[in-house]
Structure 1
Amino acid sequence: MRPCVHVLFFVWLLTCPCGTHEQEEEEEEEYEYILEVPPEEDSDDRPSEDAKPSPRALLCPKDCKCTQEGVVDCAGVDLREFPIELPEFTNHLSLQNNQIEEIPPEDLTRLYRLETLNLQNNRLTSRGLSDDLFEQLENLSYLYLANNKLTLAPRFLPSSLISADFAANYITKLYGMTFGHKPHLRSVYLHNNKLTDAGLPEDIFNSSRNVEILILSSNFLKYVPKNLPPALNKLHLRNNKLEKIPVEAFSNLSDLRELYLQNNLLTNEGMSNETFGKLARLEYLDLSSNNLMHIPGGLPRNIVILHLEKNNIRSISKDVLTQIRNLEYLLLHNNKLRARGMHPDAFLGLKKLHTVHMYNNLLEKVPAGLPRRVKTLMLLHNQISSISKNDFATTYFLEDLNLSYNKIMSSTVHRDAFRKLRLLKTLEMSGNSLKSVPYGLPRNLEILKLKENDISSVPHDTLSGLSKLKELYLSNNKLKINSVYTGAWVELSSLQLLDLSGNLLSYVPPDLPESLEYLYLQSNKIVTISDNAFDSTPNIKRIFLRFNLLTPETVKESAFHGLEKLQVLDIESNLALPKVSKKKVVEKEKEEEEEEEEEEDRRR
């Protein structure tokens, strides 16, 4: 963690709580919308400059903004009624974030040029909207009614409609003409409503074949709607009650690229090998948080990202994945996989697969036959007890390996286990049962995390050759000063962050590298800081020494002289608070504030 303070300070005098309190919030459906505005009308349709504007054309409601181009913005002005003093040439009307409950038909239908109508975040009810309210607006292309109190979708909408957003209402029913016979319709947002299968017409998109985006997530659907538009590109059905998917459900969706089915009740029995067979262009498939026992068969070969996490998958057969030749991301975490349930050839031929997540499973060892070109491999939170010589013998391209929170012991890590990982940049083995730093660490490592083990020694040469290492985490172990071989730290010529907090150190480690910028030594047993403790670290920016055994007599202010880049010195919560020069702190703060002001002036 990086401290939140950017000014030099001594916590001997000042206390700065920099932690943040994270609050969990209920996950909500989130989608990106673009309030699309069509191009301006041709000049031939506009009134000439000499034409005299009518009284209606000169009106603009109080607190609203109106332009000569027909844009009226009344967003967030606490309107309780639909404004009547609107210019007759209005083509884009923004009324979102108000408290409107109903719309009188005569007030809206006179706006015959209206193309975009935004009514999001109001208090509109179905009773407050007549069945044919929007039908008379023959130029209306974009209608936004999300976050209101509608229980029924509008019965009739104009054929000119391009995009409709009715998300986050209480809609239980759609009508045949709600979205039917709309040749220009491209996107429909209906997520976070109360739709059931009975509330959908048999042919919901009759003669509306060009819909590309359909969002039906967070409703109460048990079945995939029938007769979906063949032009669909994105289909969201997450957070419903789907139990099975008929073979023909997606048979006409040859252009579908993204399919979201997570958080349903799907089982393997509810699908067949032909369920996804016709989705030739599918690139993104999310089947996470269902009740799958194994990976479905017949998945399209063009899938790039496959989400299967949070199921009950226990095994991977030989040929269930091998046909997905474009697969790059495979997410299998939070399942019940065991190494013996994975066929050695399960990943054979997947040359593009570079990211595999298998954390929070029941793996008792590293699975055989890992993808040869994998770059990121997440195996944390399993039951792995050993790392053998050939576990990673074929994963030459691996860059990020996480083996944290398993049951690995120092005696079960082979000295040559990592010999082939010449490109490895990050290795994490925190939360295991290691008693010493492993041998044979890859020379290209940049980040090494060994936190929360039982490490009591850093054997000779275990850190030798790690000239590219930038961050080393050894916190919450059992290290003492004499348990680290002489010269270990100075060999790490690129090290910027060293975390030795929560150990048994009695003083600041000697021979720290010149490159060091962040040093964490809190929660040790340090009793003294010598005058030359930081002579070798002129680039140090932040030093953390709280919760040690320091006293005013064992710490001299001169120990920190010459550290011109030092921003944070945290020595709070020791035996006593030493007296240091507040003048120096204030001067440094003032100097840095002036530098920041100068930099801001240059940017301006």
Structure 2
Amino acid sequence: MCVTVTMRVGLVFLWSALLPLSCSGQDPFAWLHGPQGLRYGSLKADTTGGACPDECDCPPSFPVAMYCDGRGLTAMPSIPSRMKYVYLQNNAIKAVSDSALVNATNLVWLMIHYNQLTSDAIGEKAFLHLKGLERLYLQHNNLTAFPPNLPRTLRDLRINHNKIEKVTLADLEGMDNLTILYLHDNAVTDTGTSLKALKSLTLLEISGNKLTKVPEAFPEHLHQLYMESNSIDSLPEGFLGQFTQLQYVRMAHNQLTDKGIPANIFNVTGLVELDLSFNKLERIPPVSTKLQHLYLQANQIKEFTLGSFCSAVDVTNFSELLTLRLDGNQIGPQDIPTDSSLCLRLTSSIEV
């Protein structure tokens, strides 16, 4: 007969419940500490397609990932064919030979940022066999050009903080799945029509380059466009009209003047945020009543023109602006029209 005794002390009851005893006389946890338990309770290293390199970690619980980041590597390690996610960042790797990735045909992510890669040390066929690669991080290296034969399956390419001067059509043509391109902090002077080929691109970050004009063509489905810290002094006619989903435009720290901005170029209904700070504007450009955030600080604006926000004001016509920054210009609080609260009724604060 099995008798159950109610314990008054909770800790004692808990310990007794975990003891390997049962009313049947069998140990309900025998599988944990017996020979069978050793077989089921431990994980063995997966060596499919090759053993994990000694200098890296390949967790048995995640056998398709290889962690080699921050190991002081100066050369590419051998990558087993089973690997899908390889982390090589924060090393001193200088080259990727034609054979370095030939076995890594299942790669989905390859993180090789913060290394010492140079363009002439990347083989012509280095990336040629990666037919399923979706994410490639190459930022903070010493590249002067895009590596050849990048996989056309890429969705996220980060090649910022290098020394790239030009982007050609051959670099990006056929990348129909690319949605994110980080190209900022390079030395790009021209992109030609290469960006137009990126049919799925939604985020383009091309700030901190040497552009003197807006690139000739963009993908029409861009959602975020960042071109800060260049030397752009004018915008082409109908610049924003080519986009169907653009919501965020940042062009701070350029050389824009009133003369270089066509009339009503920013008066498009899709925009949510527009940053034109640190330029040379003397007037507030007309914007859509649907715009929510406008940054114009550190320009040369001399007048607060309410008509730039509202052409007419009534119960149904008013600006939806939430943020307006005009500080660092040539106007002060006294220059804000007394009836601005009707037009800018949703604006929480105006900084002047």
- Which TM class, normalised by the smaller chain length? 0.7 to 0.9
Per the alignment, do residues 346 and 182 of structure 1 end up closer, same or farther by CA in structure 2, a change over 3 Å counting?
Answer: same
Output the aligned Cα RMSD.
3.1
C-alpha distance after superposition, 1:121-164 (max 9, x if no partner): xxx5xxxx9xxx99xx9x9521110111111112x422211011
Spell out the pairing of 1:562-581 with structure 2 (5 A cutoff). none
Q: Does the 8 Å CA contact 2:282/2:300 hold for their aligned counterparts? A: yes
Q: What residue in structure 1 maps to residue 295 of structure 2? A: 378
What is the aligned counterpart of 2:343 among 416, 420, 433?
420
Give structure 1 stretches of 5+ with no counterpart. Answer: 1-47, 59-66, 71-88, 92-111, 430-604
Q: Does the 8 Å CA contact 1:390/1:417 hold for their aligned counterparts? A: no
Pair 1:69 & 2:42 matched: yes
Q: What residue in structure 1 maps to residue 4 of structure 2? A: none
Paired residue total: 314
Pair 1:151 & 2:74 matched: yes
Return the index of the structure with the highest Cα Rg. Answer: 1
Pair 1:365 & 2:338 matched: no
Question: For the residues of structure 2 that align with 1:400 and 1:115, how far apart are their CA atoms?
Answer: 56
* C-alpha deviation, 1:297, in angstroms: 2.1
Q: What residue in structure 2 maps to residue 258 of structure 1? A: 180
Q: What residue in structure 1 maps to residue 8 of structure 2? A: none
What is the aligned counterpart of 2:310 among 393, 408, 412?
393
Question: For the residues of structure 2 that align with 1:427 and 1:410, how far apart are their CA atoms?
Answer: 9
Q: What residue in structure 1 maps to residue 88 of structure 2? A: 166
Question: For the residues of structure 2 that align with 1:248 and 1:321, how far apart are their CA atoms?
Answer: 26
Pair 1:277 & 2:196 matched: yes
Q: What residue in structure 2 maps to residue 322 of structure 1? A: 241
What is the DSSP-based 3-state SS (H/G/I as helix, E as strand, rest coil) of the residue aligned with 2:219?
A: coil
Q: What residue in structure 1 maps to residue 24 of structure 2? A: none
Instruction: Tell me which amino acid in the other structure corresponds to 2:278.
Output: N
Pair 1:403 & 2:326 matched: yes
Q: What residue in structure 1 maps to residue 123 of structure 2? A: 201
Q: What residue in structure 1 maps to residue 15 of structure 2? A: none
C-alpha distance after superposition, 1:304-362 (max 9, x if no partner): 111111111111121232211211111111112122211113235x3221101111111
Spell out the pairing of 1:97-116 with structure 2 (5 A cutoff). 112=47
What is the DSSP-based 3-state SS (H/G/I as helix, E as strand, rest coil) of the residue aligned with 2:136?
A: strand
Question: For the residues of structure 1 that align with 2:346 and 2:51, how far apart are their CA atoms?
Answer: 53
Q: Does the 8 Å CA contact 2:288/2:309 hold for their aligned counterparts? A: no
Q: What residue in structure 2 maps to residue 353 of structure 1? A: 271
* C-alpha deviation, 1:248, in angstroms: 1.7
**TM-score normalised by the chain length of structure 1:** 0.48
Question: For the residues of structure 1 that align with 2:288 and 2:122, how far apart are their CA atoms?
Answer: 44
Instruction: Tell me which amino acid in the other structure corresponds to 2:327.
Output: S
* C-alpha deviation, 1:215, in angstroms: 0.1
What is the DSSP-based 3-state SS (H/G/I as helix, E as strand, rest coil) of the residue aligned with 1:178?
A: coil
* C-alpha deviation, 1:227, in angstroms: 1.2
**TM-score normalised by the chain length of structure 2:** 0.81
Question: For the residues of structure 1 that align with 2:337 and 2:120, how far apart are their CA atoms?
Answer: 61
Per the alignment, do residues 381 and 116 of structure 1 end up closer, same or farther by CA in structure 2, a change over 3 Å counting?
Answer: farther
Q: Does the 8 Å CA contact 1:331/1:358 hold for their aligned counterparts? A: yes
Per the alignment, do residues 245 and 415 of structure 1 end up closer, same or farther by CA in structure 2, a change over 3 Å counting?
Answer: same
> Which stretch of the first structure deviates more once superposed, 144-153 or 411-420?
411-420
* C-alpha deviation, 1:116, in angstroms: 10
Moved over 3 A (4+): 48-54, 112-119, 409-419
Per the alignment, do residues 220 and 419 of structure 1 end up closer, same or farther by CA in structure 2, a change over 3 Å counting?
Answer: same
What is the aligned counterpart of 2:261 among 342, 348, 361?
342
Q: Does the 8 Å CA contact 2:49/2:81 hold for their aligned counterparts? A: no
Give structure 2 stretches of 5+ with no counterpart. Answer: 1-30, 312-317
* C-alpha deviation, 1:172, in angstroms: 0.5
Question: For the residues of structure 2 that align with 1:299 and 1:330, how far apart are their CA atoms?
Answer: 13
Instruction: Tell me which amino acid in the other structure corresponds to 2:89.
Output: A
